Amino acid sequence: MEKGSAVETRDDPRIGVFLCRCGAGIANVIDLEEVANHAKTLLHVVSVHIHPFLCSLEGSRDILKTIEDNAIDRLVVGACSPRLYQKEFEMLLYAAGLGRDMLEMANLREQCAAIHWKYPTSALIKAKDQIAMAVAKMATMQPARIGAQAIIDERFCDGCGICARVCRSRAIEFMGDRKRREGSKAVVSPDLCNGCGSCVAACPARAIEQFPSSGEHILAQIGAAVQGGHDKDSSAPTIIVFTCQRCSYMAADLAGMKRLDIKPHFRLIRSPCSARVESEWVLRAFSKGADGILIVAGRSERCHFESDSSKTRKRIALLRGILRELGFNEKRLMVSWVNSDEPERFQEEVTRFIDLIVELGPNPLRVPVSVGNGELVFSRTGERNDVPNGPEI
């Protein structure tokens, strides 16, 4: 097999999970043996290993040998931030003859052990969920045709032009007669596309996709995160926090490096940009029972994609109206603005949102109430609208 050939993966994924003790950085807070035992129960996982330092030469050799011995075609690494060693682990996949995108890193250090060290029991639960989310994403992954750029499926494109209007990099053109809508198809220029994903979220025909942050990948993570939340103490909220990769995710990492105390009641999902967050992701998460969703975006004047975060504000304002019409308290969905160098603000905004959701109580779709015959049903009533505001939208 040619190295780095990104061969086609099997219909039945074979996922290897590697957990890094990181010296004492992770293992002093999180019982990795418990995390490993949980990982072994997850569908498609064929091998689980714990290593003192996965970033070491010995760790690299162990990963390569395990991939070969177990015919692994996807890799989940529970370690430090992907911003530190993701490239090195991608090169290991390349050396093993796999696509570099067949990797997901669960950030067990900066965004679990380092910020939840006061709550070891809850940190362990969250670590298990983080690994489950990564495994769920990898189970849906196939080798990408191109990097993080948008891909248009001409079968569904109707030439409406919305994608071009939201694209600030002017990477989308149209082939065919624009005067005749049915004869015009969008085309993405790979040289101009910056991978923000705003066109994907805006397309009404679902004709655009982006890897490795496709809707299927994100929805798989949402499902695992919410299910993990349902399996734990029902008194604790289940909260999804979306961060943009170049702004608020970096702030979250810095919060971990500074060991800022944050309550462990949220599960973080990384997105290329806050403008990539789709309405379907939000509505699907609430339908599955998520108690709250916070989108942490970079401020418009500091946005890596030149103010794409302004699109987030507009989309979420519309979504909040939809939630209100559906009978939800719209405060369950909020947007905060945090730049990459504002870890204290990240701590403040996430903590404030957690407190807000605790005050609101559980998602009404998953609150069990007894009826006359003792049967448990799910209530859609009782949403409170008299709680204080959370983060500003």
Give pLDDT tens digits for 37-88. 999 999 999 999 999 999 999 999 999 999 999 999 999 999 999 999 999 9
Torsion sign over Cα 179, 185, 191, 197: positive
Confidence of residue 370 (pLDDT cuts 50, 70, 90): very low
Question: Which residue would you say has higher pLDDT here, 81 or 274?
Answer: 81
For the chain, list the domains and their CATH numbers.
Answer: 1-143 (3.40.50), 150-210 (3.30.70.20), 213-393 (3.40.50)
Highest mean pLDDT of the ranges 5-9, 147-151, 251-255, 302-306: 251-255
pLDDT for the residue numbered 75? 96
Give pLDDT tens digits for 305-324. 655 566 777 788 888 999 99
Average pLDDT value for residue range 211-225 = 87
pLDDT for the residue numbered 63? 95
Of residues 166, 122, 131, the one with CA closest to residue 308:
166
Q: Over 50: is that where the pLDDT of 14 sits? A: yes
Q: Over 80: is that where the pLDDT of 99 sits? A: yes
Average pLDDT value for residue range 148-177 = 83
Question: Which residue would you say has higher pLDDT here, 190 or 1?
Answer: 190
Tokens matching residue 266: 């949220």
DSSP SS3 for 218: helix
User: 13, 139 in Cβ contact below 8 A?
Assistant: yes
Q: Over 90: is that where the pLDDT of 234 sits? A: no
Radius of gyration of the chain (CA): 21
Tokens matching residue 258: 């500074």
Of residues 239, 149, 229, the one with CA closest to residue 191:
149
pLDDT for the residue numbered 386? 55
Q: Over 70: is that where the pLDDT of 18 sits? A: yes
Separation between Cα atoms, residue 250 and residue 256, nearest integer Å: 10
pLDDT for the residue numbered 366? 72
Q: Over 70: is that where the pLDDT of 10 sits? A: no
Q: Over 50: is that where the pLDDT of 380 sits? A: no
Separation between Cα atoms, residue 102 and residue 14, nearest integer Å: 11
pLDDT for the residue numbered 2? 36
pLDDT for the residue numbered 111? 95
Confidence of residue 152 (pLDDT cuts 50, 70, 90): confident
Tokens matching residue 205: 């025909």
Tokens matching residue 15: 């996922």
Q: Average pLDDT of the chain?
A: 84
User: 293, 243 in Cβ contact below 8 A?
Assistant: no
